C-alpha cells in the first residue's frame, strides 16, 4: 500500500512539473516556436492574464468566467501589440528582443504604478484529497489534465482546421501563402493573438495558486524558453515530450536531493539535451522519420 502511495506521490509531482512546463511554454511555443518572435514579454502576458482573472473574480465573476476574461484580455493586448509593434519586426527577428524587453519593462512598472505592489489573491478551488500520509490539492492534480487537453486542442487546431493550415503555411512561407490568397497580415495577427491568449490562460490557471505581483512573470519566463527551445522546430510535436523529459528529471532530482539540485538539474538537462539533439526533440524525431 505504501509503495502505491509513494508511487502516486511521485507521479503527482511529475505531473505537476509537467503541467507547469507545458503551460509555461504554450503561448511562447506559438509566438516564438512557430513565429520566431523572441518574446521576452511572455511573462507579462501571463501576468496580465493572472491580474485580470484575480480582479474580475474579486469583482464577483465566477472563477471560470474570470479565467476566460483573463485569457481574452491577454489575447486582446497581444492583438494590439502585434498591430502596433510586432508586425514591424517580422523581417528582423533579433530586434524583437529589444522591443519585447522594452514592453516587459513598461508592463511591469506600469502595473506597479496602476495596481500597486501586490493585490489580494484568490483561493485555490476544489480543496484537497488524502492518500496515505499525504494530502494533495485537487486543483493541482487536475492541471496536468488541462495541459494535455490544451495540447490536444492546439494540435487539432493547427492540423485539422483551415485557420491552422493557413497559419502554418504563412509562417513557413509567407510569400507563397500570400500568392495563394491568404491574408497573411491577418493570419500573423491572429496567431500572435492566440499565443498571447494562451499565455494569459496560463496566468489565469495559476492565479489561484500564486501571489499576484507585477513581477510574477519572472517565475515563468526561464522555464518557458527552455521548454520551447528543447522541443525543437515543430512545437506541436515536441512540446509534450520536451516538458515530459525536463519534468521527469527535475522531479526526480528535487525528490532525491532538494529544490536546489532540481533547479540546477533542470538547466543542466537543457544544456545536455540541446547538445545531444541539436535540433531539439522534434527535430530529432523528424530527422529519424525522414530517414525511413
Partner 1 sequence: MVNSAISRRFATTLIAGALAGASLLMSTHAFAQQPIKLGLLEDQSGNFAIAVIPKIFAYQLAVDEINAKGGVLGRKLQIIHYDTQSDNTRFQEFARRLTQQDKVDVIFGAFSSASREAIRPIMDRAKQLYFYNNQYEGGVCDSNVFVTGAVPEQQFSTLIPWMMEKYGKKVYTIAADYNFGQISAEWVRNIVKEKGGTMVGEEFIPLSVSQFSQTIQNIQKAKPDVLVTLLVGANQASFYEQQASANLNIPMASSVNVGQAYEHKRFKPPALKDMYVTANYVEEVVSPASDDFKKRFRAKFPQVEYINQEAANAYDAIYLYKAGVEKAGSVDQEKVKAALGSGGICTDGPSGKVCIDPKSHHTSHRIYLIHVKADHSVDIPKVWDDIQPYWLGSVGCDLSKKPDQSQYTPSNLPKK
Partner 2 sequence: MFWSAFGTIVLAAAVLPMFVNDFAITNLTYFLVWVFMALGLSLIWGYAGILSFGQTAFFGLAGYTYGVVSINLGEGGLWTWFALVVSLVMPLVLAVIVGYFMFYGGVRDVFVGIVTLSITLVFETFMAQTAGPEWTIGSARLNGFNGMSNMPPLTIPWGETPLVFDGTSFFWLVLAMGVLVYLGLRILVNSRFGNVLVAIRENPDRAEMLGYNVRMYQLLVFVIGSVLAGMSGVLYTLWGSYITPSSMGLTAAALPIIWVAAGGRKDLTATLLATVLLTWLSQQLAVKGNQYALIWMGAILLVVVLFAPEGLFVTVWKKLRGRMRARQAEPSPKTASSTSA
Q: Interface residues with partner 2 (CB under 8 A)? A: 38, 40, 85, 88-89, 92, 94-95, 97-99, 101-106, 108-110, 112-113, 218, 221-222, 225-226, 229-230, 260, 263-264, 267-268, 270-271, 274-275, 278, 280
Which CB, 9 or 182, lies closer to partner 1?
9
255 binds, among partner 1, partner 2, none (CB under 5 to 8 A by kind): partner 1
Give the nearer residue to partner 2 in terms of CB position, either 72 or 85: 85
Q: According to the binding rule CB under 8 A, does residue 101 interact with partner 1?
A: no
From the list partner 2, partner 1, none, pick the one residue 185 interacts with, judged by a Cβ distance below 5 to 8 Å according to partner type.
none
168 vs 28: CA distance, rounded Å = 15
CB of 117 to partner 1, least distance (A): 4
Does residue 122 touch partner 1 according to CB under 8 A? Answer: yes
For every residue of the chain, DSSP letters joined together read: -HHHHHHHHHHHHHHHHHHHHHHHHHHHIIIIIIT----TTHHHHHHHHHHHHHHHHHTT--HHHHHHHHHHHHHHHHHHHHHHTGGGSTT-TTHHHHHHHHHHHHHHHHHHHHH-S-B---PPTT-EEEETTEEEEHHHHHHHHHHHHHHHHHHHHHHHSHHHHHHHHHHH-HHHHHHTT--HHHHHHHHHHHHHHHHHHHHHHHGGGS-B-TTTTHHHHHHHHHHHHHH-S-HHHHHHHHHHHHHHHHHHHHHHH-HHHHHHHHHHHHHHHHHHSTTHHHHHHHHHHHH-
Residues 141, 133 contacting (CB under 8 angstroms): no
Note whether 185 binds partner 1 by CB under 8 A: no
64 binds, among partner 1, partner 2, none (CB under 5 to 8 A by kind): none
Q: Which is nearer to partner 2, 177 or 266 (CB)?
A: 266
Which one of partner 1, partner 2, none interacts with residue 137, CB within 5 to 8 A by kind? partner 1
Q: Which is nearer to partner 1, 62 or 258 (CB)?
A: 258
CA–CA dist 240, 10 (Å, integer):
19
Point out which span in 25-33, 43-51, 260-268, 274-282 binds partner 1 (CB under 8 A): 260-268
Q: Residue from 107, 216, 230, 237 that binds partner 1 (CB under 8 A)?
A: 216
User: Looking at 62, 128, 153, 271, which residue binds partner 1 (CB under 8 A)?
Assistant: 128
9 is a site residue for partner 1 (CB under 8 A): yes
Residues that bind partner 1 (CB under 8 A): 9, 12-13, 16-17, 20, 109, 112, 116-124, 127-128, 130, 133-137, 139-140, 208-211, 213, 215-216, 218-219, 222, 251, 254-255, 258-260, 262-263
Amino acid at each position: 500500500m505504501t509503495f502505491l502511495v509513494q508511487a502516486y506521490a511521485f507521479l503527482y509531482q511529475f505531473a505537476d512539473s509537467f503541467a507547469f512546463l507545458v503551460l509555461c511554454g504554450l503561448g511562447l511555443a506559438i509566438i516564438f516556436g512557430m513565429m520566431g518572435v523572441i518574446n521576452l514579454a511572455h511573462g507579462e502576458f501571463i501576468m496580465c492574464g493572472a491580474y485580470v482573472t484575480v480582479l474580475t473574480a474579486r469583482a464577483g465573476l465566477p472563477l471560470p468566467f474570470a479565467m476566460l476574461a483573463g485569457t481574452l484580455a491577454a489575447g486582446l493586448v497581444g492583438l494590439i501589440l502585434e498591430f502596433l509593434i510586432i508586425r514591424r519586426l517580422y523581417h528582423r527577428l533579433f530586434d524583437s528582443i529589444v522591443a519585447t524587453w522594452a514592453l516587459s519593462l513598461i508592463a511591469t512598472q506600469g502595473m506597479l504604478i496602476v495596481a500597486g505592489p501586490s493585490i489580494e489573491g484568490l483561493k485555490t478551488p476544489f480543496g484537497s484529497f488524502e492518500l496515505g500520509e499525504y494530502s494533495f490539492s485537487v486543483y493541482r492534480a487536475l492541471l496536468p489534465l488541462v495541459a494535455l487537453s490544451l495540447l490536444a486542442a492546439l494540435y487539432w487546431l493547427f492540423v485539422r482546421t483551415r485557420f491552422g493550415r493557413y497559419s502554418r503555411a504563412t509562417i513557413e512561407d509567407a510569400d507563397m501563402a500570400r500568392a495563394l490568397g491568404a491574408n497573411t497580415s491577418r493570419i500573423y495577427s491572429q496567431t500572435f493573438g492566440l499565443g498571447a491568449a494562451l499565455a494569459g490562460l496560463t496566468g489565469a490557471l495559476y492565479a489561484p495558486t500564486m501571489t499576484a505581483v507585477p513581477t510574477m512573470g519572472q517565475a515563468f519566463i526561464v522555464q518557458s524558453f527552455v521548454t520551447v527551445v528543447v522541443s525543437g522546430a515543430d512545437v506541436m510535436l515536441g512540446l509534450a515530450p520536451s516538458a515530459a523529459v525536463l519534468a521527469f528529471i527535475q522531479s526526480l532530482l528535487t525528490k532525491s536531493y532538494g529544490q536546489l539540485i532540481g533547479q540546477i538539474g533542470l538547466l543542466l538537462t537543457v544544456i545536455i539535451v540541446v547538445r545531444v539533439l541539436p535540433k531539439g526533440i522534434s527535430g530529432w524525431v523528424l530527422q529519424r522519420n525522414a530517414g525511413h
